[in-house]
Structure 1
C-alpha cells in the first residue's frame, strides 16, 4: 500500500526535522520542503492517471476542453497555494501564509468567472 510508504517517509522526515529544528531551523524548513516535493513527485503518476481519465470522460460527455483545462488550473492553484501556505506556517511566517492563501483564492475566482459566465449563458438559453 502506497499510503503506508508515504506515511512512513513522512514520519521519518518529521523526526529528522524536529531534531534539526532545535539546532538549525533553516535546515528543518529545507527538509520539510524537500519532503513535500518528493511526496508530490511520488504522486505525480497518480495525478496524471486521474487527469487522463477525466479527459476521456469529458470527451465522451462532449464537454468543451476549455472548461476542463480551467478546472485543472484551479485545482493546481489550490494545491500549490496550500502547499506554499503550509511551508510558510512551518517556518513561522503565518502572515505570509495568509497572503498566499488570499492570492490563491483571488486567482481561482478569476479563473472561475468564464465558467460561471458559460453556465449562466446556458441557463439563459434554456429559458
Structure 2
C-alpha cells in the first residue's frame, strides 16, 4: 500500500469533482463516490498482507477462529460506517451520517459479545 498513490488519487478526485461541480453539480457526487471506491480498493489490496499476518499470529496463540472473525467484523463495521457517514456529511446529510454512526456502534456492540464473553472466561479461569 503506497500512501502517496492513495493521497494522489484523493486529491485528483477532489479537484476533478470541483471542476465538474462548476459545470454539472449533480455529476460531482459520482466522481467523489468513485474516488472513494478506488481508495478503498487500493487500501484493501494492502490489507490482505496484514490480515494474513494477523491470522498467523492468531494461529500461534490458539485464539478460537470465531473470535478472530468477530474482531475482523468489528473493525470492518467501524471503517465502513465511518466511511459511509463521511460521505453523507459531505453531501449535507449529516443527520443520516449520525444515524449510520449510531447503527455502526450498535452493530459493534453486538459483535463484541463473543469477545467479551471469552475475556470473562479467561479472567474466571485465572481467578480459580
Q: For the superposition of Structure 1 and Structure 2, which TM-score range results when normalised by the shorter chain?
A: over 0.9
Name the SS for the 1:63 alignment partner. coil
Does residue 123 (structure 1) correspond to residue 108 (structure 2)? The answer is: no
Name the SS for the 2:63 alignment partner. coil
Which stretches of structure 1, 4 residues or more, deviate above 6 A after TM superposition?
none
Match in the other structure for 1:64? 64
Larger displacement relative to structure 2 (103-112 or 1-10) = 1-10
TM-score (norm 2): 0.92
Name the SS for the 2:81 alignment partner. helix
Match in the other structure for 1:97? 97
Structure 1 residues without counterparts, runs of 5 or longer: none
TM-score (norm 1): 0.93
RMSD: 1.4
Counterpart CA distance in 2 for 1:62 and 1:117 is 16
Larger displacement relative to structure 2 (8-17 or 97-106) = 8-17
Counterpart CA distance in 1 for 2:42 and 2:18 is 23
Match in the other structure for 2:79? 79
Structure 2 residues without counterparts, runs of 5 or longer: none
CA deviation vs aligned residue, 1:65-85 (integer Å, no higher than 9, x gap): 111110000011011101110
Larger displacement relative to structure 2 (19-28 or 41-50) = 19-28
Q: Is the 8 A contact 1:84 1:97 kept in 2?
A: yes
Counterpart CA distance in 2 for 1:118 and 1:54 is 19
Counterpart CA distance in 1 for 2:25 and 2:106 is 31
Counterpart CA distance in 1 for 2:60 and 2:95 is 45
